[in-house]
A = this chain, B = another copy of it.
Amino acid sequence: MNDPDNPLARLAAIGLSVPAAPGPVAAYEPWQRIGNLVTTSFQLPWIEGKLAYVGRLGEALGVEEGYMAAHTCALNGIAQLMAAADGNLDRVRILRIEGHVGCVEGFAEIPQVLNGGSHLINAIFGDRGRHARTALGHLVMPLNAPVMLGFWAEIVD
């Protein structure tokens, strides 16, 4: 914790802390682990139990709001991965982020929206945050969420 380069210190340095890990909205678990490999359910932009962003990009929300929604999803993902790593974020290495954006037809800025999640992960985890990413847009999203992010990570011994 005295290491200024650890993920919690980096979060604190930009005024953030790890939120409570959001629970699922249906009959499933927030994450599962096989050996050192962790996969999460999709993370939505929950803040204290409420969806902080609702609606589609290119319609209800602009790119800046979408970027912040992705940032919020990523913060919730960090909470899940911390739980999967027995509370120790120093052991987490991000492998893959699956990015999904709710948007209208013709919306052209899916990568820019998802960067809101990738930038946070890169800033907080440093080399261990370097991730592959998948990106898709959808006209319909569960709970009308503007962004959802799924994570695959390694728990480093």
Residues on A lying within 8 angstroms of B by beta carbon are: 24-37, 39-42, 93-98, 100, 103-108, 110-112, 114-115, 118-119, 122, 130-142, 144, 148, 150, 152, 154
**Which residues from B are CB-within-8-Å of A144?**
108
Q: Are A136 and B142 in contact (CB under 8 A)?
A: yes
Q: List 22 A-B contacts (CB under 8 A).
A: A26-B111, A26-B115, A26-B118, A28-B131, A28-B132, A28-B133, A32-B131, A34-B36, A34-B37, A37-B37, A39-B95, A39-B132, A41-B133, A42-B133, A42-B135, A100-B136, A103-B140, A105-B140, A106-B140, A110-B142, A139-B139, A139-B140
Closest B residue, CB atoms, query A40: B132
Q: Are A32 and B150 in contact (CB under 8 A)?
A: no
